[in-house]
Amino acid sequence: MSSLTDIDKRYLERLLVTQPGYILDYTDPTYSEFFQRHKIDIHGPKYQTYGTSKAKKLRAFWEQESDELVGTVLNEMLDSYEASCELDGQELDKPILEKSRAIVARLGGKPVNRTNAETESEFLSKEFSIPNIEKLPIEQAVASVIRRRLEEARTALGTGAYLSVIFLCGSVLEGVLLGAAQSNPASFNRANASPKSDDGTVKKFQDWTLASFIDVACEIGVLKPDVKKFSHGLRDYRNYIHPYEEMVSGFTPDEHTAKVCFQVLKAALASVAGERR
């Protein structure tokens, strides 16, 4: 069993899972050929723990095999990602790739540049105070809901209900960012990261995902860059509200994930309230 953490897996999947169930541009035959080079029968029953898609088989593979083997395979997959981007004229996601390379190096027992890890540790060690809710751009009727959910998130973190922490933090952050967007629609709609419909128009705010709100808020300066950097435990959190999605993804949040999410929320609220300089 590899030592990949939930956070590690989310970084890797951000690069490797191109659409639900798919890994990069591998077809079933080329996926098989790739793993056969490492003497792995990836399409065999051993790796069908979560299902038969290529992404689900990869999740089963890295849960069952050693750090050394998983690291070797992932290193080659990251090479394939870089090659695909270059050949297709796509831009590399350099920060996520750098983090993923560090994860793979750790699996292989190689010296790892600790800059990212230290940055995360520094982020978690910062003291962010939840601001006066009245300073947030939300309706008065919503403020009481926000207060209740914040208190519930604190309680859930203390009792080990880590998945609940993620849901609660995500719901609070999305509600506050929706309020920020509604109070400043022009800036949010003009942002490059604003989500577009098929006809090229910006989607209505109620159709935005939490990920879109975070990206746009960071772009226009409502949120600080560190919020975006450490928001992976919150982005797309709704996927795991449904038990089936949690089962097929193999995502099991731990204490570290929950603490990062709560810290992201506190930092975000302080930013929206104008209390971070």
Question: What is this structure's pTM?
Answer: 0.62
Burial of 262 (0-12, 13-18, 19+ CB in 10 A): buried
What token pair was written down for 70?
């998983």
Which has the closest alpha carbon to 126: 222, 224, 234? Answer: 224
Q: What pLDDT is attached to residue 133?
A: 93
Q: What pLDDT is attached to residue 248?
A: 64
Q: What pLDDT is attached to residue 201?
A: 95
CB of 117 closer than 8 Å to CB of 125:
no
Q: What pLDDT is attached to residue 122?
A: 79
What token pair was written down for 216?
């746009």
Q: Report residues of the chain scoring pLDDT below 50.
A: 114, 116-118
For residue range 107-163, what is the model confidence (pLDDT) as tens digits? 988 655 545 444 667 788 888 889 999 999 999 899 999 999 999 999 999 999 999
Type of residue at 12: L
What token pair was written down for 259?
């603490």
Q: What pLDDT is attached to residue 277?
A: 66
Which has the closest alpha carbon to 268: 123, 144, 160, 157? Answer: 123
Q: What pLDDT is attached to residue 113?
A: 52
Give the C-alpha distances (Å, rounded to integers) separating 127 from 34, 154, 227, 243, 262. 46, 15, 14, 34, 12
